[in-house]
Chain A
Amino acid sequence: MKTKRRFWMDGPYLIWTAAFIVIPLFTIVYYGLTDKTGAFTWSNIAQMGTPERLKALVLSLLLSLLATFICLIMAYPLALILTKMKIGATGFIVSIFIIPMWMNSLLRILAWQTLLERNGVINQILGFLHLPKQYLINTPYAIALGMIYDFLPFMLLPIYNSLEKIDSNVVNAAYDLGANKLQAFWKVIFPLTLPGVISGITMVFVPALTTFVISDFLGGSKVLLIGNVIEQQFTQVGDWNVGSGLSLVLMIFILISMAVMQHYDKDADDRVTAL
């Protein structure tokens, strides 16, 4: 009886996990490690070694690191300002950041395309002012811009939440014990928001590393990210084995980055929970 009820409680989640996480994951691992005949091979993994793909991987890593970093230095001060504001105003500003997230991300990127194009809005304004046209679209910078725009809320919200949770008297205690604003920030406020910073970094870095939509629209065919390379394998080349192999390599980079993040997070956590 008891086990039966257990199943009805847990069952849906187990089925969900199996159907949408475990099975797809194993499918990718299977395709990634076999050739067209179904025989085991490392060659799909090794496909990452071509200069073109390595270049895409390195560029992806660089651009996602850049976007994550800029998101962080933009979101943190903003979150600090938000926590200092009156309740009503905070809700307003937060919703300004959230509402765009309700819109299709494709649309938002398309909007940037329209703005950045060779004959787009920005260049038209420049022309109107008799300034030379700029090459904006189809550059790595355009892609970074798209990433920052798209993922900034994912950095802002966890940091804002962790700032909100800090007891104001804990900060007052730092001042009381002689700390100036800078010392109070680096010794008390920042360490206490580290979990929020870590989850913000993860939530920006991982989707930025794997994106192909942003680079498709803002990078054209000129700038390839690893996401585009993998996408092409599935949609254009039709080679699922190589596509899966490349995905596995990318997954390893993501796992490494998450492990690094977890390590820092744990440092903060251990202090709090250890006896």
Chain B
Amino acid sequence: MSNKLIDLQHITKAFDGNVVLDDLNLYIRENEFLTLLGPSGCGKTTMLRIMGGFETPDRGSVIFDGKDITSLAPNKRQLNTVFQKYALFPHMSVAENIAFGLRIRKKSEDYIRDKIRYALKLVNLEGFEERTPDSLSGGQQQRIAIARAIVNEPKVLLLDEPLGALDLKLRQDMQYELIRLKNELGITFIYVTHDQEEALTMSDTIVVMNQGYIQQIGTPEDIYNEPKNAFVADFIGDSNIIDGTMIQDQLVEIFGVRFACVDTGFGTMKPVDVVIRPEDLELIPVGEDAEPDSPAYQTAVSRATQINPGFFEGTVSHVIFKGMHYEMEVQAKGFEWLVLSTRLFQVGTRVLMSVDPYNIQIMNKPESEDEMAVKLDEHL
């Protein structure tokens, strides 16, 4: 797992003066399922096309297995691409599509026949040899595109938003299929998507990108639980991102209320971004007209302060049933907090809202674009 299979060094690429990738460094290890995740226009597809050989970087180099392949033609590279919208050859049957790469390499017809059968079995489309691409559903075309790529036994499979055109259910099925394929083939997958759920489900490593910079590299757990900045926190799942002030180590002030937290080393009285996941906010109901000095109110306060010395008082303003949980909006301190809970609090309920110190993420405010980029040596 430790071998660097692909090493991208100082990659810079601009289109018509528009910088898409700026001095980007990234390495991909053998057997890794690595996902490039980011909003459209973040440069993730350009990265993939540079690896596939369809774009040449303006600066920087692509090292593959120790060799510089920056200017090597795509047909000489030991990697295969599964294109967005599949790009099957419409004038060929499924079998001819899959055989394309093998015929180019002048493999024997026996070998090709075996490979086609093997590949179709692998993608669960046995018996589809004579069908034509346009008689297949999107999901089936997708699988054929994968079969066409993997029969060439590439060391790396590049996948460019391969599930983008499929409906939700099919997309989820295909995610499991891809994980299974990756495990059976034992090759490196580099996957491009803007869908954070897809990235979290399948990847060993996620690279979050924005505006040509890498924002964070890490395991799905790292990325979700320890987002490095407000962009990552916002892009991966829902978050409450608030301005705060780091009073001192382990103490942060939000909207004038001081909360205990676990982060240290931010200095004193430093403005920071505070991120709290909606499922981490805990609500404690308070009676409709309980006076602040009434016993009911005091009980609620003591329950809240058990969680964190700091808490807010607010009112539930909106509730949506989401099946597994309720999604609620709570008005507190003039801010709309997103809260997920399996427990329902009706609209209008007065609540105290608190959060475990471990679940408060403190981040430096980005001062410039450059600072948002994560340095290479921070990779795991």
User: Which A residues are closer than 8 A to B by beta carbons?
Assistant: 167, 169-170, 172-180, 183, 187-188, 191-192, 268, 271-275
Are A183 and B104 neighbours in the complex by a CB distance under 8 Å? Answer: yes
Taken together as a complex, chains A and B put the C-alpha atoms of A170 and B97 apart, in Å, by 11
Nearest to A183 among chain B residues (CB) is B104
Give chain B interface residues in 37-92, CB to chain A under 8 Å: 52-54, 73-75, 80-81, 83-85, 87-92
A179 CA to B134 CA, complexed, in Å: 23
Interface flags, B140-180, vs A, CB<8A=1, else 0: 00000000110010000000000000000000000000000
- Per the bound structure, the CA–CA distance linking A272 and B94 in Å amounts to 11
11 A–B contacts, CB within 8 A, in A order:
A167-B85, A169-B84, A172-B52, A172-B81, A177-B100, A177-B152, A178-B101, A180-B75, A187-B100, A271-B93, A271-B132
Report the Cα distance A167→B83, complex, angstroms: 11
Task: Known contacts A169-B83, A271-B132; decide if A175 and B74 are in contact (CB<8 Å).
Answer: yes
A116 to B13, CA, bound (A): 54
Q: Is the CB of B87 within 8 A of A272?
A: no
In addition to A169-B84, A177-B104, A271-B132, 5 A-B residue pairs with Cβ atoms within 8 Å of each other are A170-B89, A173-B148, A180-B75, A188-B91, A272-B91
Q: Does B131 contact A (CB under 8 A)?
A: yes
The contact of B54 among A170, A172, A191, A273, by CB within 8 Å, is A172
The minimal Cβ–Cβ distance linking B75 to chain A, given in whole angstroms, is 5
Which chain B residues lie closer than 8 Å to A179 at the CB level?
75, 100, 104
Q: Is B18 interfacial (CB-CB < 8 Å)?
A: no
Cα distance A169–B101 in the bound complex, in angstroms: 15
Give the Cβ gap from A88 to chain B, nearest Cβ, in Å. 14
The distance in angstroms between the C-alpha atoms of A64 and B74, with both chains bound, is: 42
Q: Report the minimum CB–CB distance from B102 to chain A (whole Å).
A: 9
B51, chain A: closest CB distance, angstroms? 11
Residues of A within 8 Å of B91, CB to CB, are 188, 191-192, 268, 271-272
In the assembly, what is the distance between CA of A170 and CA of B149, in Å? 13
User: Is there a chain A Cβ closer than 8 Å to B2's Cβ?
Assistant: no
A126: min CB distance to chain B, Å: 48
Closest chain B CB from A162 CB (angstroms): 12
Whether B85 and A169, one on each chain, are in contact in the complex, defined by CB atoms closer than 8 angstroms, is yes
Kindly state whether residue B135 has any CB partner on chain A within 8 Å.
Answer: yes
* List of A residues within 8 angstroms of B73 by Cβ: 175, 180
Q: Which of A176, A187, A272 contacts B52 (CB 8 A)?
A: A176
The residue from A172, A188, A268, A275 contacting B74, defined by CB atoms under 8 A apart: A172
B152 touches which of A178, A183, A191, A275 (Cβ 8 Å)? A178
Q: Which residues of A contact B148 (CB under 8 A)?
A: 173, 177
Known: A175-B74, A268-B91. A273 touches B104 (CB 8 A): no
B residues near A191, Cβ cutoff 8 Å: 91
Given A176-B75, A177-B152, residue A167 in contact with residue B104 (CB < 8 A): no
| Given A187-B100, A275-B131, A173:B89 Cβ within 8 A | yes
- Flag if A176 contacts B74 (CB, 8 Å): yes
Once the chains are docked, how many angstroms separate the CA of A271 from the CA of B90? 8
Which chain B residues lie closer than 8 Å to A274 at the CB level?
Answer: 132, 135
When the two chains form their complex, are residues B134 and A175 in contact, meaning their CB atoms are under 8 A apart?
Answer: no
- Residues on A with C-beta less than 8 A from B149 are 176-177
Q: A183: which B residues are within 8 A, CB to CB? A: 104
B105 in contact (CB, < 8 A) = yes
Interchain CB contact under 8 A, A272 and B132: yes
Do B87 and A167 touch (CB < 8 A)?
yes
Q: How far is the CB of B57 from chain A (nearest CB, A)?
A: 17
B19 vs chain A, min Cβ distance (A): 21
CB distance from A160 to the nearest CB of B (A): 19
Complex Cα–Cα for A268 and B92 (A): 9
Flag if A173 contacts B81 (CB, 8 Å).
Answer: yes
Which residues of chain B are near A275, meaning CB under 8 Å?
131-132, 135
Q: How far is the CB of B81 from chain A (nearest CB, A)?
A: 5
Report the Cα distance A256→B242, complex, angstroms: 77
Q: Which of A174, A176, A191, A275 has the most CB of B within 10 A?
A: A176
Residues of A within 8 A of B104 (CB): 177-179, 183
Question: In the docked arrangement, what's the CA distance between A191 and B92, Å?
Answer: 10
From B87, B135, B152, A172 is in contact (CB under 8 Å) with B87
Whose C-beta in chain A lies nearest to the C-beta of B101? A177
**Residue on A with the closest CB to B77?**
A176
Closest chain B residue to A269, Cβ basis: B91
**B residues within 8 A CB of A187?**
100
Asked whether B83 lies within 8 Å of A173 as measured between CB atoms, the reply is yes
Contacts of B92 in A (CB 8 A): 271
CB distance from A264 to the nearest CB of B (A): 13
Given contacts A179-B75, A187-B100, A275-B131, contact A173 B93 (CB under 8 A): no
* B164–chain A nearest beta-carbon distance, Å: 13
Q: Are B100 and A273 within 8 A (Cβ)?
A: no
Residues of B within 8 Å of A273, CB to CB, are 132, 134
Chain A residues lying within 8 Å of B85, measured Cβ to Cβ, are: 167, 169
Tell me the minimal C-beta distance from B50 to chain A in angstroms: 13
